[in-house]
């Protein structure tokens, strides 16, 4: 399993390689795009400068360093949709990214994937988690569009991932799963909210629309006890954005054939990115441990990194009973 690290600065590449990164992904929002469309209409679902390269020259330098270590860099073009007049501009950006040495494009809009294909863009496509591919039919559909890799949606359980891995093997699709940061209780592929901080330079999440105060009503034939639990669980997500982790799932991922372990956080500091890569690298190094001992060590790693004890809000795959 390869460690897929976020990237947003040229200066990060070498340190991330030393930490154990084996693949990189990044976004680019040029000054021209920002001036014409603003960060509200980001080309890649990240609406702040710190999460993106600002020029193809910067991108090329980062790719060159990664290439010197024989490591690939992927570029994100995963807005949920683009307007008709944006398609040629996005295509031009994608061509420049490919010319800079990008190995894969991470895309969510099926129309854009088809548009790239129609215009002979010669690059592999990975399907973003922002596309709702969470059953075998969707895997087959996107395979037909030419997709080579699926970034698994965050909300899937290990049982669902295991089932989809069998489909992916038949279709010869690579699979990528999240292991650190940015757990969301909702479904990426159905999200229509802007992820904007307090100012264009910020990575603050205090003003995200999905974290604003909300009310919950439970409609169920279950007991009052179960309904109270459901209510409490739903309300727990209000105004929270906890650190999150899926490292306890690594033994399962290894068995079912997950190829890449994704660390979210393009907008995080360089120090945080490096620490996260080291954390995943350390976890992979412990895979030979007995199951319970491995889980205990993962809980220690998470606590040492975040000073938070594992709970269902911080666990990507808690529905499997990993806690």
pTM above 0.75, yes or no: yes
- Predicted pLDDT of residue 1: 94
- 28, 56 in Cβ contact below 8 A? yes
Q: Which residues pair with 147 in a beta bridge?
A: 125
Fold for the domain defined by 2-205+241-318: TIM Barrel (3.20.20)
Bridge partner list, 77: 107
| HEC sequence for 70-92 | CCCEEEEECCCCCCCCCHHHHHH
**How far is it between the farthest Cα atoms of the chain?**
60
- The domains of the chain are located at 2-205+241-318
Residue 26, token pair as written in the block: 């990044």
Instruction: Give the span between the Cα atoms of 293 and 193, in whole angstroms.
Output: 40
What pLDDT is stored for residue 288 in this prediction? 95
| Full pLDDT tens readout for the chain, 323 residues | 999 999 999 999 999 999 999 999 999 999 899 889 887 788 888 877 888 999 999 999 999 999 999 999 999 999 888 899 999 999 999 999 999 999 999 999 999 999 999 999 989 999 999 888 889 999 999 999 999 999 999 888 899 999 999 999 999 999 999 999 988 777 887 877 665 555 445 444 445 666 677 788 889 898 999 888 888 777 776 656 668 899 999 999 999 999 999 999 898 889 999 999 999 999 999 999 999 999 999 999 999 998 888 887 788 887 644 44
Burial 29-41 (b: 16+ CB within 10 A, else e): bbeebbeebebeb
Query: Cα–Cα distance between 135 and 160 in angstroms, integer?
Result: 8
Judging by DSSP bridges, how do beta strands 174-180 and 147-151 pair with one another? parallel
How far apart are the C-alpha atoms of 15 and 22, rounded to whole Å?
A: 12
Residue 9's nearest CA partner among 58, 48, 56, 45 is 58
pLDDT at 2: 97
């Amino acid at each position: 399993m390869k460690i897929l690290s976020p990237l947003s600065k040229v200066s990060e590449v070498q340190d991330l390689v030393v930490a154990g990164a084996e693949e990189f992904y990044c976004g680019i929002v040029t000054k021209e795009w920002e001036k014409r469309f603003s960060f509200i209409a980001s080309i890649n679902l990240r609406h702040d400068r710190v999460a993106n390269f600002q020029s193809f020259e910067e991108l090329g330098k980062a790719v060159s360093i990664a290439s010197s270590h024989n490591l690939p860099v992927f570029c994100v073009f995963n807005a949920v949709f683009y307007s008709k007049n944006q398609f040629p501009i996005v295509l031009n950006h994608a061509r420049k990214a490919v010319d800079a040495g990008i190995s894969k494009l991470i895309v969510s809009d099926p129309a854009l994937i088809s548009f790239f294909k129609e215009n002979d863009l010669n690059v592999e496509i990975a399907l973003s988690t922002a596309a709702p591919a969470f059953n075998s039919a969707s895997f087959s559909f996107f395979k037909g569009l030419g997709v080579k890799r699926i970034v698994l949606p965050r909300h899937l359980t290990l049982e669902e991932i295991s089932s989809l891995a069998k489909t992916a093997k038949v279709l010869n699709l690579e699979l990528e799963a999240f292991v650190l940061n940015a757990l969301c209780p909702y479904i990426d592929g159905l999200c229509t909210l802007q992820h904007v901080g307090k100012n264009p330079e910020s990575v603050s999440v205090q003003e995200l629309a999905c974290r604003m105060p909300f009310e919950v009503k439970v409609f169920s034939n279950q007991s009052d006890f179960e309904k109270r639990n459901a209510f409490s669980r739903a309300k727990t997500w209000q105004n929270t954005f906890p650190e999150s982790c899926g490292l306890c799932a690594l033994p399962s991922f290894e068995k079912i054939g997950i190829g890449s372990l994704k660390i979210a956080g393009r907008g995080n500091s360089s120090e945080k990115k490096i620490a996260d890569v080291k954390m995943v690298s350390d976890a992979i190094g412990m895979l030979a441990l007995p199951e319970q001992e491995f889980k205990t060590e993962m809980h220690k790693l998470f606590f040492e990194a975040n000073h938070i004890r594992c709970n269902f809000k911080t666990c990507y795959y808690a529905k499997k009973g990993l806690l």
